[in-house]
Structure 1
Amino acid sequence: MIPRRVAYVVNVFAKLSETFITDELASLRQPDEELRHEIVAGAGLAERTVYDSREFLPDLQEFRPELLHAHFATKPTATARALAAKLGVPFIFTAHRYDIYARPPEDFADRAAAAAAVVTVSEANVRYIVSTFGVPAAHIRLIPCGVDTERFRPPDQRRAEGGGPAEPPHIVCVARLKPFKNQQLLLEACARLQARGVQFRCVLVGDGPSRDELNRARARLGLQRVVELVGAAKQTEVLAWWRRAAVAVLTSNSEGMPVSLMEAAACGVPAVATAVGGVPELIEDGVTGFLTASGDADALAGALERLLCDPDLVARFGAAARRRVVEHFSLTRQVDRLLALWRSLVDEVER
């Protein structure tokens, strides 16, 4: 039986850099610290939101959830675990990236053992959780984040062609400006492309602590005319950038499963990305884009140049990327898998 009441526990909600949570839940309107959500058609999330931690337990006792689901293995999981014990219901958590590789809780294995199941978003994550924390593979469920492939889709061809002057092909990177995202590598690749006379424009969409450093590098490399840092963007703005893009790029040193590349693929945009974390599970090298070694600016520039200079290759890879994401990484597929897991856990409790 599909549970009718599930409470979500998150740390910060809703974040522009974590749209996978908002997409998983539905339409969201305002930020909060902890969220509960009843799976009822047409239910509004704003009226199912709890801000004050002192109200979590009494509100949940009134709500009577059948399951708690936390996102990230850190504070949200600790909170969900404590609440679930008091409510007498199971809890699960989804582990993404930083809570696995960068700042995992010291008692990750204990939290995993207490949970009814651990969800994670890539096969690479599964392997790491098993080898590093000793969590049995059978206790882990692989459910990649999904993208709304009806919303994120290629532009209408007639509208895309337009009537204005042609602009240079766009390289678009949608990512937080943080050290592990390593946009410095992208700037170095752009400097190589510019030196070779390749026509392009590169747009970095996102914000973060590396912004000043990247602006200095942009000036030092003489990229002011071809590289733009446009700041954080809402999903509607991100969609508009993907529809202008010729190539998506991600140069991270570490990843779980990057939703930004799913969005690009859904819009028919091929990608060039470093082969880290779950990225090789998303990009089929030489079919939907190109994979390069982490930290290799020459390889990155070469892969970008191949696409920037070959519109037919962009079209072929882009169509293949769209097919792949619709088949394997749609939001519908994610929700179906999640509901199946919830159903199995609730049925197990009822037995």
Structure 2
Amino acid sequence: MTAGRPLHVLVVHNRYRSAQPSGEDRVVDQEAALLAAAGHRVGRFERRSDDIAGMPLLRKAAIPLRVPWNAPVRAELAALLRRERPDIVHIHSTFPLLSPSVVAACADARVPAVATLHNYLMVCPTGTLYRAGRVCTDCVGATPLPAVRHGCYRDSRLATVPLAVNLAANRRRWWSDVARFFCISAAQRDILVGAGMPADRLRVKPNFVPDPVERRRGRGEGLLYLGRLTEEKGVRLLMTAWDELRARGGLGLPLVLAGAGPLHDELVRWASGCDDVRYLGLRTRDECAGLIARAAAVVAPSVWPEAFGLVVAEAMAAGVPVVAAGHGAFVELVEDGVTGLRHPPGDAASLAGCLRRVVADPVRNAALGLAGRRRYERDLAPAVGLERLVAGYEAAIADPVRPGRS
């Protein structure tokens, strides 16, 4: 039994490029810090995608070949596990420098493993369930050949092949050799169970967010979009909705956008022609927290079914109402008319109407924010996250799988 005693946890994660800040990296760091503060011992086994740029050409060229399986990583991690003997290994992202060989390393060393599923990579080679401007489930519960045919990763069939091979070759290993999976929403779990993942090992454990230093006071200074500048995040949809609002006289508050991504240049051109739009580019975490606390509402118009939505949870923590697309995890996070407003996914006119409504009545706006804060305290605060995390570890340690060796 482990209840009541400190655990030794080894965190396995491939960090994203710093030019494209990732919510996954933030979740990993926050969980590790929370565990350490509670007296648990936390080790790290990590790779950094930033390191790819400095690699010799031949080593860089070999990376796609090792996406499905990286034998040196397996050997290195297995040796570390035998030396350190952690109680549990917590796997996060393995793309592109680690690979699912980390699961085999845990089996080699006979250390139980859990994995947080931050996206849909178990059933979709790109992890987004989104293609060509629409939600796509062609590979869910089937072979990943459609992803190759459509060139879903970087619009390239060749670049998609390693991800498709990874999914086809390793799906069963993940499903049979990992003791527990943490889904970050019930919506995500439903999709994964429907695709054939073992329901008894999938536990819903939403991400937590730290209690912000600064909370919203007053009406707020503008409507805020904070996140990656990509089509699936609803950036183009938001621009269309804002153009509709401007054509009818605007809202009297600016639209503030912060982030980075492939739509940067398009957004800059659009914003330059709007006197009520402020594009701030990439901002630090502290700056982003300040932007949230000063917002009248946070906008999350994703056109793909988000598995969670950190910015939504952060807005709730700061007492700021949310306008979000009505699908994926947002249906669980945002109670329509109580903690924010939901609009039909992909519907620019409905999004515009929600933006108008959320700022039209300051009293109701404040009530939405306070309800969101209460929801945060109940379900998304660090103490709740720690309890769920440790309970998942202890369940995996008490009832580990017996993986086959290969």
The TM-score normalised by the length of structure 2 is 0.73
Which of 112, 123, 127 is matched with 2:186 structurally? 123
Deviation of 1:51 after TM superposition, in Å, equals: 5.3
Deviation of 1:262 after TM superposition, in Å, equals: 0.3
2:116–2:181 contact (8 Å) kept in structure 1: yes
Change (3 A) 1:278 1:109: farther
Change (3 A) 1:64 1:25: same
> In structure 2, how many angstroms separate the alpha carbons of the residues matched to 1:131 and 1:110?
18
Within 5 Å, which residues of 2 pair with 1:14-93? 16-18=21-23, 19-26=26-33, 41=39, 53=73, 55-72=76-93, 78-93=100-115
Which of 163, 170, 176 is matched with 1:113 structurally? 176
Structure 2 residue matching 1:285: 3-state secondary structure: coil
**How many percent of aligned residue pairs carry the same amino acid?**
30
- Kindly indicate whether residue 229 of structure 2 is the aligned counterpart of residue 177 of structure 1: yes
Deviation of 1:102 after TM superposition, in Å, equals: 5.4
- Spell out, residue by residue over 1:211-268, the C-alpha distance to the aligned partner (whole angstroms, 9 max, x if none): 112223434xx32x22222122222111100111001001111211101110011101
- Spell out, residue by residue over 1:139-160, the C-alpha distance to the aligned partner (whole angstroms, 9 max, x if none): 21110101112x25515x5xx6
Which of 83, 98, 116 is matched with 1:94 structurally? 116
> In structure 2, how many angstroms separate the alpha carbons of the residues matched to 1:289 and 1:128?
25
Q: Which residue of 2 aligns with 1:322?
A: 373
Gap regions ≥5 residues in structure 1: 28-36, 162-167
> In structure 1, how many angstroms separate the alpha carbons of the residues matched to 2:323 and 2:307?
16
Structure 2 residue matching 1:262: 3-state secondary structure: helix
Structure 1 residue matching 2:14: 3-state secondary structure: coil
Deviation of 1:185 after TM superposition, in Å, equals: 0.8
> In structure 1, how many angstroms separate the alpha carbons of the residues matched to 2:314 and 2:78?
36
Within 5 Å, which residues of 2 pair with 1:101-250? 101=124, 103=126, 105-106=167-168, 107-132=170-195, 134-149=196-211, 151=212, 154-155=215-216, 157=217, 169-197=221-249, 198-219=251-272, 222-223=273-274, 225-250=275-300
- Spell out, residue by residue over 1:51-94, the C-alpha distance to the aligned partner (whole angstroms, 9 max, x if none): 59575443333221121111147565614302202211111211
Gap regions ≥5 residues in structure 2: 49-72, 128-166, 402-406
Mean CA deviation greater in 78-87 or 104-113: 104-113
One-letter amino acid of the structure 2 residue matched with residue 191 of structure 1:
D
- Spell out, residue by residue over 1:302-328, the C-alpha distance to the aligned partner (whole angstroms, 9 max, x if none): 111012221111101000011011111
One-letter amino acid of the structure 2 residue matched with residue 66 of structure 1:
D
Within 5 Å, which residues of 2 pair with 1:232-271? 232-254=282-304, 255-271=306-322
Which of 10, 14, 17 is matched with 1:11 structurally? 14
Deviation of 1:301 after TM superposition, in Å, equals: 0.6
2:179–2:399 contact (8 Å) kept in structure 1: no
> In structure 1, how many angstroms separate the alpha carbons of the residues matched to 2:42 and 2:394?
22
> In structure 2, how many angstroms separate the alpha carbons of the residues matched to 1:347 and 1:21?
23
Structure 1 residue matching 2:232: 3-state secondary structure: helix
Q: Which residue of 1 aligns with 2:357?
A: 306
The TM-score normalised by the length of structure 1 is 0.84
